[in-house]
Structure 1
């Protein structure tokens, strides 16, 4: 008789649940996906790149804000990150040093927490539940965020994206502009 091998369980690695009912079902699912990715990658915190990856995978409105080639490049870089590209980030907390640490998003890096709070604030200003576009706007608001680094590596101008999101913050995300990410890196 062969010995039974116990099922492999990925340890939590300090990534705890973000229990904030204000996120709603849509962003709650994005955070849950980012949490699973962080645990699988062996990261101690959910960072902005985890949130961007989960957002692109789960929100068709966010994907529609990018040209199809941009989505493919972004997902390519994010997958590379999970298989080694992000090793330089592993074990380091994402923090610009310039932003105040906000604590309610337990288990998140300071910048990821700031992005989540920005999404909630943006949705509250428009008196509606938070959406993927709100989180995307929060992710691109801090130039030192890992999500911004991934966007730029994929040839997408995060400042231009942030400006587009600010110009059209209401219902749907703005259409991708033709000049956004036209350069190849």
Structure 2
């Protein structure tokens, strides 16, 4: 007897997915969706912290306001755009890894999350819960991206002249 519905591939162990999290605000869910699209378009197998940062800056006015409208925001967006077109900071085909978690391997059709990006998402949700809110916001994710100074988001921010420690302190 043949099954009418083909069996679905089980998610691989350690594959972090960020698009089905019920603890994200609608705005932050759009940010995550944008980061997944960006990763796919760039040919990356994983959403990393720089994808999330880029998408945050595109979709979240509260996060953009943290950087103001000056040259720092322009430099930051410049680094992120260079990265997305394959110029400048080159991380394609490698996984952003903290060393503490197993490397993520995802199915080609299912873009997963790097360990650092997944950790940032978890930190964002925990930060919102600490405030007594059910849903994480963009600034929560931004703070989560800055906790590990080895993240690609922290590297991009540093290259754009942002003092990551100071920024984290004010968030």
Bucket of the pairwise TM-score, normalised by the shorter protein: 0.7 to 0.9
Of 121, 127, 131, which aligns to 2:126?
121
Q: Which moved more, 1:15-24 or 1:139-148?
A: 15-24
Distance 1:47 1:138 in 2: 12
Superposition misfits of 4+ residues, deviation over 2 angstroms: 14-18, 85-88, 99-103
Q: Which moved more, 1:108-117 or 1:17-26?
A: 17-26
- Do 2:49 and 2:117's aligned partners in 1 also have CA atoms closer than 8 Å? yes
- Do 1:15 and 1:46's aligned partners in 2 also have CA atoms closer than 8 Å? no
Distance 2:62 2:37 in 1: 22
Write out per-residue CA displacement over residues 11-51 of structure 1, whole angstroms, 9 at most, x where no aligned residue. Answer: xxx99662111113111100000000000000000000000
Q: 1:148 — aligned with what? A: 154
CA-atom RMSD in angstroms? 2.2
Q: 1:44 — aligned with what? A: 45
Q: Is the partner of 2:112 in helix, strand or coil?
A: coil
Distance 1:149 1:48 in 2: 10
Q: 1:28 — aligned with what? A: 29
Q: Report whether the alignment pairs 1:132 with 2:134.
A: no
Write out per-residue CA displacement over residues 78-119 of structure 1, whole angstroms, 9 at most, x where no aligned residue. Answer: 00001113673111110121x34598xx70000000000000
Relative to the length of structure 1, the TM-score reads: 0.75
Of 78, 90, 93, which aligns to 1:91?
93
Q: 2:74 — aligned with what? A: 72
Distance 1:88 1:62 in 2: 24
- Do 2:16 and 2:115's aligned partners in 1 also have CA atoms closer than 8 Å? no
Unmatched 5+ stretches in structure 1:
1-13, 166-185
Q: 2:114 — aligned with what? A: 109
Distance 2:18 2:62 in 1: 25
Q: How far off its partner does 1:144 sit?
A: 0.3
Higher relative contact order (CA 8 A, sep 6+): 2
- Do 2:42 and 2:84's aligned partners in 1 also have CA atoms closer than 8 Å? yes
